[in-house]
Structures are given as structure tokens and as C-alpha cells.
Structure 1
Amino acid sequence: MPPSDVAPESLPFSQLGLAEPLLLALADVGYETPSPIQAATIPPLLAGRDVLGQAQTGTGKTAAFALPVLSRLDLSRTKPQALVLAPTRELAIQVAEAFQRYAVKLPGFHVLPIYGGQSYGPQLGGLKRGVHVVVGTPGRVIDHLDRGSLDLSQLSTLVLDEADEMLRMGFIDDVEAVLKKTPASRQIALFSATMPSQIKRIAQTYLRDPVEIAIRTKTTTAANIRQRYWYVSGMQKLDALTRILEAEPFEAMIVFARTKSATEELAQKLQARGFGAAAINGDVQQAQRERLIQQLRDGKLDILVATDVAARGLDVERISHVLNYDIPTDTEAYVHRIGRTGRAGRSGEAILFVAPREKRMLQAIERATRQPIAEMQLPSVEAVNDQRITKFKQRIADALAADDLGPFRQLVEQFERESNAPAVEIAAALAKLVQGEQPLLLQAPERFVRPADAARAPRDARFERPAREKPAFQRPMRDERPAGMPPARHAPGPVDSPTQSQHPAAGMRHDDERRDARGHEHPAARTETRPPRSHHAEERERRPRRDEGPHQPDAGFETFRVEVGSAHGVKPGNIVGAIANEAGLDSKHIGRVDIRDDHSLVDLPEGMPAEIFRHLKKVWVSGQQLRITRGSEAHEGGKPRKSGKPPSFDRGGGRPGRDDRGGADRVGGDRAGLDRPRRRPPGKPSR
């Protein structure tokens, strides 16, 4: 059937046929009306039809497939009923979190993210205990299928999310391999921002009479709204918000949070810090809502903490700032949010807090608004303290201008005579008394480094130690955890509450390495110059170099030798992806990569911590351990291999070059309670 360019008239979620527990969960987070992709996709998926959807990131497509999948689950079964393939570990984690958020009213529901960079033990344990939905990257999913640990015999729905991105990253062969191992009766939902020929071929081959849906983004924002974002790193969001409120001049501000309970909690915390703030959400009665809005208009209230639904239709001219404390779930919501400022021809300010794993949504917002969003610097401690001192002095000046100081003057004079204390000391004591328990001045925190500053950061500030890896799942707000569900304290099995990501294991598949699944170099991999043209590793790949002479690192970098080279079929993107994943280092801060015959040289920021250095020695790339050493000296313990075919890990299908799984069967044996497999020499078939 022809694609639908425009979604049908938006019905509320309650009329789309979703299960009642899902409607309750949506109401809790303030969602009432579906986005165009959701309105067009949910009904056919509920009816069991295949869907071919064309929509950009940020249009709400995760909910478009997650909600119907959840509606059709049989929670009494413990084998996976739905599998979602995503191109990167970050997206896999986000999708799993979304499933958990929407399933908060489904007791006993389990979702498990499986991806490269996490040890196999927790994933194997989770699959053994039973899950309803698996969200994974293609390589790790195939690994589990080959191990026999992932059973798709009861699979009813397969979702391919961001299929064009999986094609671009070289995983399309993996995707087809998964498709061939799913039951013939399964339903398929394929989503892609673009429709290149290979994606169309997959759709024609594997989808049965799909409903075709195309949603075109038309949102733009007013040019009189200045948009900025702050990259959440090293400081709590509440502290960052406090700094902005203290140092940034504003008339009135709306702060957007994701849930009702979050608005109330944040408003209370701001009140405790001395700000006039109130929460407005779906639970606020209409009369109270009108009173709060009138107080905002009259200047009696300066800060409203709101959910998306509660702020719709809000039109108050004095709102100078909109701050997105929680990033919205789709670009349309963002446009509606920031439209609360810049009204009646006035200028407005929009600030967005972006967590590390929300960078894709930031990019989607920039595309949707057709405007770049500049990164902002938080007000410094000095700027905040200057503002505090200025305001305190103004309070003193206002008090001095009052006419009723007589009794207080007499009291101070009397105390001065009795205590023999100087008047200035008495004034200082009174000032401290007025200030209360909150310190007058901020103390400078320990320096932290944002990714944008990393290129000039000192030594190991640019590295994240694997032992302190950030949690893959954030702990939910109080209203997002199912009743009776204890907070997670251990590594993930099936995710029935958010979990901590595991320490990356040596030898895992780097699913976000930028290379062709057959080992071919991408067309973009044709330059040797720095800096890179983008943050994507495939655009950083350099033409392999032979042993041409000394390798000189740039300032701030030092050269490391890794024992994998062109003889092993390695590409620069393989090395960049492995080091970026395992060292917690943004790939844009990895310098030049020289591929030699039997080894490679890579420039990394100076001051690599010892624990990361030791960890990288054990990482596998293209079937070889990196065995990283400083400078160009050979690795101790043997001469590197100088010739031979690139290793192939034959999985039984005769498909060569699948070495970016990095020797999956070397990982996690002891930790998972399995027998440790014997290490095979590179190039030897796995079975």
C-alpha cells in the first residue's frame, strides 16, 4: 500500500486499543495525545500487521512500537516474545529503559538489554531466568544465538530500529542473519530515517504486505529564541539549575520535568534553596492552576516546574526562560516547550540539559528545529558569589531605607556597651543570623571536565576508568517503579528495575565500531589528517601506512603501540572503537592511527591511568589482543605475527571476517559460572 505522509487525526491514547495498565503508566508520565508516528503505527501493530515506518529520531517511534508490543505480551511465558535490534549500545539501553518505563504497571515484566562492551555473565543469567523482551545490538544477539543462550522459538515480534544506521555501520549482514533465525510467523516492524536500496530489499524480502508510514518533520522554532544546552557531567542537575537561577537574569521561568512526581520534588527542592517555585502537573486542580498562572503573570511567582501536558496553552509574556531539566521524549514536545517563551515579539531563552546518552536526541532536535544549539558554560562560582553579594548588599540597603530601625539601633548600642564588641563585628554576626544555615558563598568544587574541554584537559581527566563506568540505567523516579519492586542493587539479569552496567569485558564485540561487516573499508576512510571531520569513528579511518619512519605525536598526545596490523585485517575504525569503548574515551580525542604490517601506532591523550592501560592490554581486536605498550617498542613475550590471512571466526554459516565480536567465547566464563573455553590461536575456526 502507498505510504502515508500524514498521520491520521490524533486520537488520545485511550482510543488506540492499548492495554489498561499501559494507559495508567502513560497517564503517570503525563502523556495523553500520541505523536503522529505513534498514532499511525500503534493500531496496525496491535492488529498484527507488519509495519515499514520512515521517521527521524526524536519523533516518538520508540513508544510507537514498545506500547503495542507490551499490549500483546503473555507475561506467563518466560521465553522472549519480542526482539528489538538497535545499532548501538546507547540506543539499546534507551529502548530498554523506555520499555521498563511504559511497563511500570505490568508486574512481573522483564526486559533485558544485550550489547557488546558488557560481560556475558549477567546477560546469560538474565536470559536463563527468563525475559519477555530483548533489546540488543546485532553482533551480541548473534553471539547469543550461536551460543544457544537466546531462544527465539516463541518470538512473535521483531523490531528493527534505525535500520539505515545499522546499514551505515556495516551490520546489515548481521541483521539478515538474525531475520533468518526468527520464526516465519513473527511480526516485523522496520523503522528507518531513510530508505536506501538495501533497506528496501530487506523490507521486500522479509515483510509481509506491510503498512507503510512516512512521517515528515515540519517543526521549526522562532528565530527570536536563543537555544543552548548544558552537557550533564560532573555536577548534579539540581546544582547546575541553582547556578543558572542565581546568575542568569530572568523574569519568569518554566522548568520542564518528565513526571508529575518529579515536578513536585524539584519544586520543593528549589523552595528549600530560597526560590519562589511551584509545581504544575496533571494532578493540579484547574482553580489552583489558574491561581498559579495568575501569580506568574503578576510577578508573585517566578518559577513554574511543569510537565508537558500541564504547560500546554500557557501564554504568559513575562516568561523569559524555558529550561528543559529532563530532555523531552520527542522533538515535537521540545518545540512546544520552548514556544512558551519569546511570545509577543519578545526574545526568549531555551536551555536544555543533555545527559551523555541523550546526544542523539540533541541532534534530532537540531534537525527538527533547523537551528544549531550552542553549548553553554555554567556560571562560574565567582559569578554566582558576585550575584549573592550584590543581592545581600541590596537587602541591607533596603533595610537601611526603612523608617523603623529605632528599636534595633538601641538594641545594638546596648549590646555593644555590654559586650565591648565592635559594631562591625555585631553587624557581621547579625548578617550571619539573617543568612541562616545556607552558606553565603559557594565553595569552588573540584574541577571536572566536560567532553568539549577534554582536548585541553590535564592528564587522566580525559579518561573514564572502566571500574567506575557510568550506570547504564538511571534509577527511576518514585512513581516509575512497580509496586513492591525493590531497588536494583546487583548487576543486571532481566531488567525489572534499572540496573548498573557491567565492567566491560575483554574480547567483546564492539558493535559501534565503524566498519563493513565483511571487513571492507568505508569510502569515508580515506584521509590521514587530524582533526577528524566528525565524531563518528568510520569518518576517522585513515589509509593504512607501512613502516615509513618515525611516528611523531601531536602536542598533548603520546604514541602507543598495539599488536594488531594490516596482516590481521584491522582497520583504524576497529582500533578507535575498541579504545573508545574500553577506555571511556570519546573517539574524537583519539589521535592519529598508523596501521603497519604487524602492529599499529595510535596517539592517545597524555597521562593514561595505569588501570586503563592494564585493561587495554587484554582487549581483543580483529582476533588479536592489543597488548598495548608505550612508544614503538615490541611487546614483551614474543614477536608479533608478520603475515598470514586475517582471522576468521566461522560461526557455522561460512561467513568470514566476523571478528569484531572479538572472541566472544573467551569472555565471562569464570564470572558466569561456566567452564572457561580453551583459547584458540587467531584464525582458527571456532568449531
Structure 2
Amino acid sequence: MSEFRSEQSFADMALPSAVLNQLEALQFTQPTPIQQQAIPALLAGANVLGEAQTGTGKTAAFGLPALAQVDANLKATQVLVVTPTRELAIQVAEAIDSFAKQQRGVSVTTVYGGSAFGPQIKALRSGTTVVVGTPGRLIDLLNKGVLKLDALRMAVLDEADEMLNMGFIEDIETLLRSVPEQAQRALFSATMPTAIRKLAKTYLTDPVNIRIEPVEKAKRNITQRAWQVQGMTKMTALARVLEITTYQRALIFVRTRQDTMDVAEQLQRKGFKAAPLSGDLNQSQREQTVSQLRSGHIEILVATDVVARGLDVPEITHVINYDLPGDTESYVHRIGRTGRAGREGEAILFYRPRERHLLKHYERATNGVIEAMTMPAAQQLNEHRQDLLLQRIQQTLATDVSDVQGLLQSWLEKHELSAEQIAMALLQQENTRQPMFMAEEKVIRAPKIERQGQSKKGREERRRAGPRRGADVDFDTYKIQVGKTHGARPSDIVGAIANEASLDSRYIGQIQLFDSHSLVELPKGMPKDVMHVLTKARVRQQPMAIEVTDAKVARPPRKEHRGGGAPERKRSSRSASGNGSKRGAARRFS
């Protein structure tokens, strides 16, 4: 693969005057590094393999030279851009359309699944110049004989690594095999896994290899902070962060589609302007949601990695990783949603002890530092609410209050009330609506094991026996809608409860598995918000739907020593996988 280096302005490039005039109107003056290298290479007729992160200007890097090669008099598809998601397809199409405003006869059409075929087929049959779409819908249109590539001059794969992650590799190969041999090809990706390099080697002849290193300056305006989940549930912590933090728009990343709805619903109940964004929404709903985020009708978006790919809303000031991503590339993409257009941004991570090692990987990937953060305590939250209320009162008193002043004077004269009593009553109403004197909820934790002064033999016995369960804990029995038929194991249930409830696993009692449900012992007096979280928690992709029950967990049978004497209780250790805790003392069986 050949290398290419260039230091030019847009005016120095062989772009059509109509394109240059439009760039000037859009106030595009200095090309980004990927544009400086890719545009001249594509204008020279070369194939391009570009590796650059999201937000580096890849759309213009292929869109501008593509527009330079189209024939406006030819009513046929001449440029094809393939993207992994509908959101990115719409964004790319809008960008190319804006670049082509002064090119008469050039039209751009977006095609994607989840939308009616009719308008898309009509646009293609009318001879649209540029087609931007997702793999599945493009193949459908090819098979219908509606999308014709005979006159194609350039084919572009954008975010190729994401298409690989989403399982589109076979669809991509099908599309590339349909591209005429004489057409130019360009492949852009944030990373270059082996499968993408193999794809490029197969379908790109002698491509110009362009790699843009992550620029430290691009991450310097994003502050990264991390909180270790402890002392409260993640939902409680999230609500506190959002209440204390001054944000313009916030993007919260979760793991699954169901999580987007659960987290958004809980935030809405707490008074936040939140909405989910997931693949469960149809296209019009997703477009409306993003539009509402831009306009401010929605201030918080709860999304998964896939649907947020390509989301470009400059007003996003905070990205919160409610669930951590599985790889560093996804993390870089996530935090790249903030700090856009030179603005300051902040990325916040919630991590569990077993996930601590991921922070070092994230720091290396971003060439940055992730600072430890503490969660606002109840007293800090109280003071914040009190200060805000006082500010509102002061602001109100600075306005015209003559209308209510007469009413107050009338009450003071006609009723046995003082101004102080009326003020206290109104403050109490406000305190009922949003408590200003909260205390920290008691977190159930196992007592520390005192090891000082223990003999070596004693320590060995303690390790063999495992951590002891709190002797003063009373248990209730709960029923969860997960059982053997779902592939559940006791360790799965322990892990889910310990993680979601921040509950020390030594305070999870007996577990008994049945075919379609299970019974589990938990301490009495579990907080309501914790139980709500557990209701939504999943084991083996199945909602636990936990509820208290009068049923009792059966005890495992005891075995007698061969020589008689005291019975021996059969012990079974459970895996620490999924809960980050030590071996449990309580017995689990199925």
C-alpha cells in the first residue's frame, strides 16, 4: 500500500468552483488531516484506505472528491456510500447535500430499513446522483433491480469496523462485488481489525493508506472522571450526578435496548427530561428524539453504542458511561460525542471493582488521565436543593409581587397566621415535593473480618470456611422469574443481585432453582429503590421481576459422618464470576 502526504488548503485542491464556493459559504477554510490526505488522493483517481476516528471530518474527506467527479447531466447513481446505521446514513447524506447546494442537477437520497420502500424506490428511479444507505436496505434494492450501479464512479464504506461488529461483513462483500470494476473505492474505519484489512486487500486495488493518529489536543478538552460503584445503586448515583452537575445536554450509555427504556423511565420519574434511543424505536421516532434533543425539549438521551454511532449534537456537554463498553474503541467513540466543535466536554464512568483494569486501557486509548470522583453525599444534595430554592425565592422577590402581597396582607389580618407560619407551610410543601433533609440510606455490608492476632491455623480454617454471614441478619424470601429452563445458575443470580444492588454477596442467603423460577433469601428491609433496580435486573437475558413471597427455601439434606457423631453440612462454593466477591458462606443448590 502506498503512503500519501499533503499539506493543502481547500483552495489548493482541484475541487469544482461550485464546491469551493459552497465550502466558503459554510465557512469551511482549513481541511482536517484526513481531508488533507484523502481528498487529493481520491481526486487523483486512487483507491483509499483511511483509518481515522469519529469526528475527524471523514464525510468531507470522501464527499468532496465524490462530488467533483459526478456528471450532473447524467441521471443515474454515481456515488454509493454505505454506513452501519440509519442515523449515520442520514447525517452523511445531509452533509453531502449541503456540500452540493451550488451544483445544479446533483441530488442525494438516503435509504435504510425501518422506512417505507415507496419513496426510496421513487427517488432511485428518478435518477438520484448520490445514494447513502445501510447494507440491508441497499441489498434489498439491488435484488429488486431498483438500485443500479452500472454508472457508479465511487463506492465508499464508512465506519467499516462498526459494520463488522454489527455482523454486516457478508452484506458488505455482496455490495462490493456489485460495484463495477472501473469504479473508485474508499474504505474508512476508526480501527483496522484483521477482517477489515482482509476486505481492503480483496476489493481495493493498490489503495493509498492513510492513517490519522489520535490527536491529543482533540481529547484535551474532555475531562474524564470515574466513580467506583459502592455505597449506593448506580441509579441513585446517576440521579445525584445529573442534579448537581450543570449540563446542557447529557448522553448516557447503557448496555442493552431494554436498559435504555428502564433508565430513561426512572429518570423521568425523578423529574429529568430524559428519553431512550434504541433500535426498538422506528425511524421516525428516532429522528424525532434526536430533533428534540437538539431543540432542548429533551436534555438527556439514554442510548446504546450502535444507535449513538454518528450522533452529532454539539450541545452534548456530558457523556456518562452507566455501563462500560467492552472495548477501548467503543469508549473512544462514546466520549467523542462530547467536546465537539472545540467546546469543553466531560466523560463520567461508573465502574465496579472488577472493571478497574479497564480504566488504564481507556487512558492509553485517549492519551488522557481519568480522575477519581466521589459521589455527592446526601448532605451535599440537601445543601444544593436549599441553595436553589433560596435563589428562586430571591429571583421572585426581585420581580413584581404586588398581586400576592395584597393576598398575604389579607391573610395576616383575617386569619390567626403569622408571616413566619405561612413561610414555613410553603417551605414544607416544597420539601414534600423535593426533600431537602435527606439522610444517607443504610447500606447493607458484611462486617470486616478481624485477622490480627489469628494463628496461621486459624487463618487457614477461616479461608476454608469462607466469609461468615452476618449473624444479626433476618432474611425474607423472594421469588424471581428466572430458573433452570433459562440456563440460570446460582452464581448468575448472586452476581446480578450483588452488582445491581451493591449488596455484599455474603448477605445473599439460600438460593433454590426451579424450572421457571427461583427462590432467594435477601435481608429484610431492602430499600425501595434497590428493589426497583432488581425488578428490572436481568439474569441470562431474562428480567428477574423479583417479588417477596411466603414460600421458603428448602434446606439441602445433611450427611452423617460414617463414624456417627455430629452431622456434617454439605458445603458448595460458588463462582465469583459476575459479582467480584469472595466465596460465599451460604449454601446454594439447584
TM-score, normalising length from structure 1?
0.40
Which protein has the larger Cα radius of gyration, Structure 1 or Structure 2?
A: 2
Q: Which has the higher helix share?
A: 2
TM-score, normalising length from structure 2?
0.45
- Structure with the bigger RCO (C-alpha within 8 Å, sep 6+) is 1
